[in-house]
């Protein structure tokens, strides 16, 4: 399948993408993961991206588009792909449409995962990440805390709140999403590709996607 996953930060796009890859071997392509990898590697691109991400801002297109074009042409995309966190703006969506046409790729749908703001704030501000970059285990202070407070179960390193997951940064990310990314729903509706799912449970989202693919 070839899907775009839309939804605010914390709507569960990453979780849904992982479940879908296990269904048919489609590959998950997350701009966030690519960018965080660059940050950890300490590349010039990574350093530039880090400043934006720490502030809860979107990373500029010129840092993203080139990466995406190369990525979509890699052999593992032949079975399909799930774009998670990209495109984020109308100009990116337009650029992606041109790119996909050029590559002869046809999207199945753009899935809009619609989760209430209070649920998202609660999910993200309670998330904690292992500070060891080789581990990066993810915890949740409410639903999945480490056995010893503040210490990673797997490697013993300190468990921290990411700079882009404080309440202030998340509020800023949600504002940015509503301003720049939410209009993508209209864009893909016009393309006849948008499917909106009102669900806070990933299984419900998966079932809605399966129904649509089978239709």
| Enzyme catalytic residues | 13, 88, 127, 162, 173
Residue 160 or 163: which CB sits closer to Zn ion?
160
CB 165 within 8 A of CB 157: no
Under the criterion CB under 5 A, does residue 171 sit at the interface with Zn ion? no
**Which residue stretch of 65-73, 115-123, 146-154, 177-185 sits at the interface with Zn ion (rule: CB under 5 A)?**
146-154
Q: In what order do the strands lie in the sheet with 2-6?
A: 27-30, 81-84, 2-6, 109-114, 194-198
φ/ψ of 151, rounded to 5, equals -125, 130
Under the criterion CB under 5 A, does residue 146 sit at the interface with Zn ion? no
Under the criterion CB under 5 A, does residue 155 sit at the interface with Zn ion? yes
Shortest Cβ 129–Zn ion spacing (Å): 9
Tokens 């899935």, residue?
111
**Which residue stretch of 12-20, 47-55, 89-97, 135-143 sits at the interface with Zn ion (rule: CB under 5 A)?**
135-143
Cross-strand bridge partners of residue 3 = 82, 109
Token pair recorded at residue 82: 């799930």
Cross-strand bridge partners of residue 83 = 4, 29
3 state DSSP class of 102: helix
Under the criterion CB under 5 A, does residue 162 sit at the interface with Zn ion? no
CB 107 within 8 A of CB 213: no
Q: Which x/- pattern, by CB under 5 A, does the window 94-133 give for Zn ion?
A: ------------------------------------x-x-
Residue 157 or 161: which CB sits closer to Zn ion?
157
Residues that bind Zn ion (CB under 5 A): 130, 132, 135, 137, 152, 154-155, 157
């Amino acid at each position: 399948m070839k899907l775009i996953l839309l939804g605010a930060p914390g709507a569960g796009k990453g979780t849904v993408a992982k479940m879908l890859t296990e269904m048919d071997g489609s590959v998950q392509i997350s701009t966030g993961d690519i960018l965080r990898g660059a940050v950890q590697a300490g590349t010039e691109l990574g350093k530039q991206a880090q400043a934006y991400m720490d502030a809860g801002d979107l990373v500029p297109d010129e840092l993203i588009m080139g990466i995406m074009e190369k990525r979509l042409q890699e052999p593992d995309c032949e079975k399909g792909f799930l774009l998670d966190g990209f495109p984020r703006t109308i100009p990116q969506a337009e650029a992606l449409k041109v790119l996909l046409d050029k590559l002869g790729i046809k999207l199945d749908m753009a899935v809009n995962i619609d989760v209430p703001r209070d649920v998202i704030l609660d999910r993200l501000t309670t998330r904690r990440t292992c500070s060891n970059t080789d581990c990066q285990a993810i915890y949740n202070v409410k639903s999945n805390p480490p056995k010893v407070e503040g210490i990673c179960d797997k490697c013993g390193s300190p468990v921290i709140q990411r700079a882009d997951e404080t309440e202030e940064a998340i509020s800023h990310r949600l504002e940015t999403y509503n301003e720049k990314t939410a209009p993508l729903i209209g864009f893909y509706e016009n393309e006849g590709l948008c499917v909106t799912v009102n669900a806070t449970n990933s299984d419900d989202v998966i079932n809605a996607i399966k129904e649509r693919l089978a239709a």
